Structure formats: C-alpha cells, structure tokens
Structure 1
C-alpha cells in the first residue's frame, strides 16, 4: 500500500521571513505531524522567522538550521526556506539539544544519546538497525563535529547517524541551529526516528586519490589548522603539488583538489576551507600531526550522482523523499559545471530536500565534500509498527 502523504516537502523562495514561514507551513502542514525539519538562509531575519515558525507549528517538534544554500522542489537556491514534515502515523520521533559545545564532554554526550534512545524505547517504539536512524544538525563553526559525532554514534550502536553542519553562505561568521522556537549557536540537535517507511542511508563522493602524498608535519587539530606539510609551509607545499603558485589558491582550487585520508580501506575526504596569510591551511575538519594524506581529484559528479540514485531506486524504488546534506565545496563545483542544470534535475526527480553544509556526518565520522542522506521509499513496511 502506498502512503504518499506521510511526508510532505516544501520550498519557499520569498525573502520575507514571515511570509516564507507561512508558505512553508501551508505546504507541509498535515494532521498528526511528528517532526518538521527545515533548512534556511542565514540572510533571513532569524528572530522573525523563528517567531513565525513557533506561532504556526505550535507544539509540533520542529528542528532546522542555517545553510550555505538550500535544496528543494525549487532546485538549488540561496535565501530560501526548504524542508519537510513527517506524519506520526509512520514516524515515531524523539529529539534533544546539546548546548555549550565548547565544553562538550564525550561521556556526557554518550549519556545524552543513550537517554534519547531509552525514551524512544519507553514510548513503545522498538528501535533497531532496520527501522531506525538518527539525524544530527550542528553548529558548523563550533569545530566540535568530530567528538560530538563519535560520542553519539558510540552510544547509538548500530543505528546509523547522519547529519550536516550548519552554514551561513560563504561568510563563515555565525551558523545556527533551530530548537524549541529559537536559533542558537554552539549547539547541536539530535533526532532519533523509528520509521514504517523503507529507507536507505547513503554517502556518495566523486573524489579519487592520486599518488601524491602529503605528510602533516605540524598541525593544530583543535583549530583545524595545518601549518606544515612535508616539512614546508602548508599552503606552499599544497600549491606545489598542484603545480601552481600559493597566491593562486582559492575555494575553486580547494573544491577541485581536496585531500583524502584512508581509514580501514575506506577513503574520506578532508577539504580545505582557506589559505591563511601565515602560510597555513584551515580545513573543514580536524587534521592531526603525522597523518598521511593524498591529493585527490574529482571525477564526473553527475555520473556519480546518477549512479547513487540508481542504486537507491533499485533497493527501495523511487524515493518519495530524500533528505540530503551536500558539502559547500560540491556546491561551488556544481555552480561552475556545465552539467549544473542536469544535476539539479536529478535531485528534483528524486524528491531531494536538504542544504549545502560546512561538513557532513556519516556513521560516526565527520566528512567533507560528500553528499550524505537518507532516502525514503513509498511503500510502508506493514510488519513493523510505530
């Protein structure tokens, strides 16, 4: 039996915050909502947006964050509001917030995640790896994604965790998460979901490693700054590997030539945010002394995306909704690509709603330059219950 109305997606492109919230509410509102999730531009007057969202949705659980660009039925957008609602008939949800991330302690984080899991179980929703997952939204400038993600995933065991780091366009000034009717920084929201709908968690990237090795010889992991590579100033050595001058480094170069780390045979992208005046490089994730990285290059992003969705469709059929968290560096590459329109069409054809991030979280690892997400099929699993 097909249940197409158990999730509803929306995308408002008006720049007035209250009108955007009203348009969004009109499109996603449905009886018995258990969760509403949204992604919005930081260009909105966020206090006004928060106030209107609280007024419209009342006691419904609503979570969201600011972005580096929004993805929805209207395609790739800036200064818009996109998201979806989930019906309580098919989704059982619990959620909570962790603030003061600068003082985050792993033990406390694990206890928080375990308490949410116990709450879900206590409400009569049997949670297991086949019917449950976790969503994370986190301040993208907190620099705390690694310990938070690891702690939560450890506590959740085999339940898959995925999420995105909030953005603020290309300003890198203030990123915020929405919880309990207001936007806040230095915080994270964890959402646990038991679903009657079939779903598939996925991660895709179009990055392949070259043979060029970079050994991190001096780094400040807490600040995500690499000072030296191969014993030389980091930006100078990285630029030399690319065959360019360090003065020519820019976001487009970083998007085209990230670096990768191999862990247990799996390749994880470690993307560069910016080159600094002192010759160091700031990354989107923590880099430690002694790590051996490889320069990487992009292959066909469109082909990789089409293949990822083909695999999803083969497993669960055409998705009625995909929540997608797509790296800001992929957005920069897509913007300059001749295939931009077709890439947007592929996302729209697969009912993708999401945002461009300052980082992605996938099964306990903080990653870069990937698209991570969860795709929901159209047919309810009648043998499970919520």
Structure 2
C-alpha cells in the first residue's frame, strides 16, 4: 500500500485521528502521536517518552526533534516506501486532527476556541477541523487560518449527528442541501490558498435520504483534496454496524482523490481489513482509540508489516493513564482541572480489567495526581491484557429521528433561510 497524500503532506501510516469533542485536544493528540512515532511503547518495544521541553531527557529515549527537525520533508522515500527493504528510517506519523472548531467562534476569536487551535511545536502537519453552515463565515475562518498560519490542513465537518448541530442544518444534515454544500466548499478551497482542504461526512440523513455519492462528486468538482466517509447515516448515530460497502462505492465514484474509511475500527486488524475490502486509501479512527492511544502504534506496525506489538499489562496502562492526566493538567494550567477532565477516560482505559466497582467509583471522583497515583498503585499491576477488552467503546446507540430545521427535507435545492444566524458560537465539547 502506498502512502496517503493530503495535498503536499505524505501521511504514513495512512491513518487519521478523528476529531472528537472533548477528547482530541492537544494532550490526547500528544499521546496518540507518541505511540504512532514509536516514542512510547509496551513490553520493551520502545523507551519511555522524552521529557517536556526544558526538562532532562529520559535516559535512552530517542531524540524526536533531531530525528524530525523543523523543515524536514514529510514525504517518505517514494522509491522505498515505509516498511519496504531499503527504506530510510522514518519517524512514524499519522494525521491527528483537532476537536471541531466552530467557524463563527474562530472568526470572533473566542478564548476557548483560540486555545483549541493551539498546537504543540512537534505537531506537524497541524490539522484543524472546522464546522460551519454559512459560506461567508466559513470563508472568513479559512482565510484567517491561512493568513495567520494557524494550521497546515483544514478538514470540514459534514458528519456530526448530534442534535445541537443538525437542528441548525449543520454536520451530517448539510450535504442534503447540495447548493449550500457546494458554496461552502468553494469558499473554503478558495480561501485556503495552498492549504489542502478535506471533508468528513456520513452516508446521509437516513436510508431514504442518502447524500454521500452526490457530495463526493461535488467535492471533487470544487477542489477538495480528500474525503472521509463514516459508513453510517445520521439516524444511526453510532448504533448498528458501519456500512463498509458504501466506502467502496464512494471509492469507485471519486477515483480522482483519496477516500478514507471510518466506522467500526476497533483494532489494527480492522483497519487493514477495511482497506483490503473497500479499496480505501486510508482509515479514520474515532471511538476505537478511546482509552487506547496505543492503537496508533498498533496501526503503524500493522501497515508496516512488522508484527503485532505486545499487549499492555495493567501497570503499563496505568502509566499511560497517569501521563494523560498530567498532560491535561499542564494544558489547562491546573492539576485538579486536568484530573477532573481525565475522569471521563477512566472507564475506557480500565475496561475488562479487574478493578472493582468501589475502586472505579473512587477513581471517578479523584481530583489530584497524588490521589490518582495512590488508587492506581493499589491495583494489581501484573494483570495481563484481558480477553474481551477490545470492541465497542463510547456511544453505541442510534436515534429515533434526526433533529432538522423545519422543512429541511422538502427540497434539496432550497437553501433559503440559512445564514450566519445558524452558526454555533462555541467549539469543541
């Protein structure tokens, strides 16, 4: 399999971290990137993470900055792709996308939004996902990103199924209005200049209102660089089974640009199987990495054919949990707030392990790193990776109906009544 090309950026392995509200902030992206780059691993595969800038380096840790200096090419040796005999050593990469950024909030320089668009110096390419329903506002946001060098890649959200988004005509509801979709894409591509613009979408609103094939052709015509398809409708939300056949159909319908598949990737084997069965050019991983940031190391190994990495013991998982909470505290500039924000991850990290209901409760109300250390240290760290710990995590239910603006489905060509007042004013979760 060849590397994934997103504009000027060669992405290997061909894996993208899906934007998830309240999850894919800078600390979580750091963890995922460390595993993907081989900086952090289990069972002796790799040394621990390097120290934060200004701190003493961890003994034996590779110098990531030296291995991948500023200005270095993102493009692996085309004659010897990663994993092939004779290939030059390469720092493992993926594409790690920010939380959803609302175009209105970005243009208005909302304080929370400006924090969310801040990237670590080692994050490259820097990827921002934008949400918007007004072409003019989307255009302003994209030009702001390009003019102020806020990112290297822009992804547009046409896949979110939550009611607060779809009731405004946004997310997975928007592609039904074909002229509006085209107008937004045209403004975004025009305003982005040299920055590549991609889009993420669902199959449609429901089985009676599928939009993905029309949306794919519009995207090609308007200069979008790549498309990601979640193989579910908005009505399915996160329930049922993702339709990988739809990903294959989209791949056939838009041969001009890369197509990425999303939905029901819980393991590296799932990702490889999706590529093999659909012919897609790469995968987008969302809920599969909840409590499993090391999945990106597994994915790198799977696509490079180097064998499955060792599964972690609970002690190793606990070390990742602790680092995650610490990173959140540093990012929020408040240790207690970081630990509180980390609480939502605890059930995902500990799934399948013998923890006990009382200990889970205590972990879920912890409020300091010292308390977290004490609780995690009281558990059996030698527990091996439990059978059945993989599989669905996060939201798994469908919805009875999709919340839409009144009369939304009457005419796919009628876009009257939509404008800047339909924009959300906050970003992320």
- TM-score when scaled to structure 2? 0.24
Higher strand share: 1
Greater CA radius of gyration, 1 or 2?
A: 2
- TM-score when scaled to structure 1? 0.26
